[in-house]
Amino acid sequence: MKARRIVLIAHDVRSCHNIGSLMRTAEGFGVDHLYLSGYSPYPEVPKDKRLPHLRAKLTRQIHKTALGAENTLEWSHEANIKSLITFLKSDGYTIAALEQTPDSIDLGNYDPPNKIALLAGNEIDGLNQPVLDSCDIHLQIPMSGSKESFNVTVAAAIGLYHLRFAELWPGQAR
């Protein structure tokens, strides 16, 4: 079932709990790699240069929701989002911003390519315009209620579900 190559980018996500949940969700959907970019917190890494008490605290908080996914999922921290996007594009990935913009299309109407990077942003402000400008496409999740958006983790889960299983219904509006 895992024919499509999917990577997830969490850019400037503030909450350790959201990062842990994104790790668990990405692992559950068979994401090839999770990139934590910008100021997104991340668990302890070899030769970690952060203060020992800070990295221990962040690792503990992320583990509360990751529940071990931080140890089974391939992930890395990439501080520079523009360099990361350039690298992924050079490796043949389409960069899809999960963001409500005037140019975004409904996720359910999108037939994803075989190599795709789903980019989710800050819980309050979303993705900034320079980052959006560097993406190939903007995708949005249609909303039926009175709220304007989903939590970043819920939105990423909906996006990953569609990307992982879209081949079950190619070319059909959902």
pLDDT digits (tens, 9 = 90+) for 111-158: 999 999 999 999 899 999 999 999 999 999 999 988 888 999 999 999
- Taking a C-beta distance cutoff of 8 angstroms, is the pair 36, 80 a contact? no
| Helix, strand, or coil (residue 118) | strand
Residue 147 lies in domain: 5-168
pTM: 0.93
Q: What is the pLDDT of residue 173?
A: 46
pLDDT of 12 > 80? The answer is yes
Residue 174 lies inside a defined structural domain of this protein: no
Separation between Cα atoms, residue 106 and residue 110, nearest integer Å: 7
In this predicted structure, what is the pLDDT of residue 149?
A: 87
Q: Is residue 105 a part of any domain in this protein?
A: yes
The CATH number linked to 106 is: 3.40.1280.10
pLDDT, mean of residues 72-101:
97
Q: Which residues pair with 120 in a beta bridge?
A: 10
Between CA 45 and CA 111 the distance in angstroms is: 36
Q: What would you measure as the largest C-alpha separation in the chain, in angstroms?
A: 51
| Angle (deg, nearest 10), helices 16-28 and 52-66 | 50
- 173 domain residue, yes or no: no
Q: What is the pLDDT of residue 137?
A: 98
How many distinct structural domains can be found in the chain? 1
Percent of the chain with pLDDT over 70: 94
Tokens of 100: 């409500």
